[in-house]
Structure 1
Amino acid sequence: MPTRLNPYLSFDGNARQAMEFYRRVFGGELALNTFGEFGTEGEQADKIMHAQLETDSGLTLMGSDVPPEMEYTPGTAMTVSLSGDDVDELRGYWNALSDGGIVSVPLERQMWGDEFGACVDRFGTPWMVNISQPAG
């Protein structure tokens, strides 16, 4: 397997819902493992220890719930960026990700010629979508 770089998102108890949402957005196969599968009992047992979404278009997104003994600090130091020239695919992702979220930059043509938008989805994950325009 070649080396790959992919986002790993942390959630405060709603990783299952978030990753299932991302599966609806991007399609693909979602694998979910709970803390209980690895011996944790009690309230934390049903929380997600590791989730991995592999899409048909080659995207990989991972995530988990932060255990109570670790600090959960949502931040703005990381944004997930989607870019390419498949207008229908990227607009579809944009529409799904921004639905119920906060749009900071509407998806529209920008000064550099591409369509670009930025939002934070309903789970607090920041996204940027850039649709490249054909050269010429």
Structure 2
Amino acid sequence: MAQLLPYLNFPGTTREAMTFYASVFGGEVGFSTYGEFNAAPEGHPAYDAIMHSQLTGGGATLMAADAVENFGPPVVYGNNISLSFVGPEEELFRGYFDALADGGTVIMPLDKQVWGDIYGAVVDRFGINWMFNIEVASAESA
């Protein structure tokens, strides 16, 4: 089932922020670092940074990551929130992605990622950040 979820970016304070939000809203929060995904080598400034965090509970899901140099744009408050489509609907999401990219800027083309899903990001012509995570395992088992 397709979902549209908020995605927050922080300047290296994702763990602190998401732990705080979990204390406010309840639920379970998980963290994955760039190092755990082998996306940054040991000793690199991004190695221990949060590549993905997810808080789930109370009927809501909130996702976040650290904005790390060379791994995306720096945090500018006001544009540090993205809308993220998550689900197995590849054809639907590719259509959305292409439509939003028309007149916009593709940040990362839709492509298979280290976690196994297809992911891409685009900024539309109005300056809104969009992320797409096509769940390959879900689509294959559906």
TM-score normalised by L of structure 2: 0.49
Using CA pairs below 8 Å that are at least 6 residues apart, which structure has the higher relative contact order? 2
Displacement of 1:64 in angstroms is 0.2
CA contact (8 A) 2:51 2:66 kept: yes
Question: What amino acid is the match of 1:76?
Answer: G
- Bigger CA radius of gyration: 1
Tell me the residue number matched to 1:35.
Answer: 34
Question: What amino acid is the match of 2:61?
Answer: T
Displacement of 1:73 in angstroms is 3.4
Determine which structure has the larger strand proportion and give its number. Answer: 2
What aligned pairs does 1:1-136 form with structure 2 within 5 A after superposition?
2-39=1-38, 40=40, 41-42=42-43, 43-55=45-57, 57-69=58-70, 70-76=72-78
What count of residue pairs does the alignment treat as equivalent?
77
Find the aligned partners of 1:15 and 1:78 in 2 and give their Cα distance.
12
Displacement of 1:76 in angstroms is 2.6
Q: Cα deviations across residues 16-56 of structure 1 (Å, max 9, x unaligned)? A: 1111111111110111001110122223211100001101x
Please tell me the root mean square deviation across aligned C-alpha atoms, in Å.
Answer: 1.8
SS in structure 2 of the partner of residue 45 of structure 1: coil
SS in structure 2 of the partner of residue 75 of structure 1: coil
Question: What amino acid is the match of 2:67?
Answer: V
Question: What amino acid is the match of 2:62?
Answer: L
Q: Cα deviations across residues 79-126 of structure 1 (Å, max 9, x unaligned)? A: 8xxxxxxxxxxxxxxxxxxxxxxxxxxxxxxxxxxxxxxxxxxxxxxx
Question: What amino acid is the match of 2:19?
Answer: E
Structure 1 unaligned residues grouped into runs of 5+ = 80-136
Question: What amino acid is the match of 1:25?
Answer: V
Percent identity, aligned pairs only, is 43
Question: What amino acid is the match of 1:4?
Answer: Q
SS in structure 1 of the partner of residue 46 of structure 2: helix
Pick closer, same or farther for the CA change 1:47–1:73 going to 2, 3 Å. closer
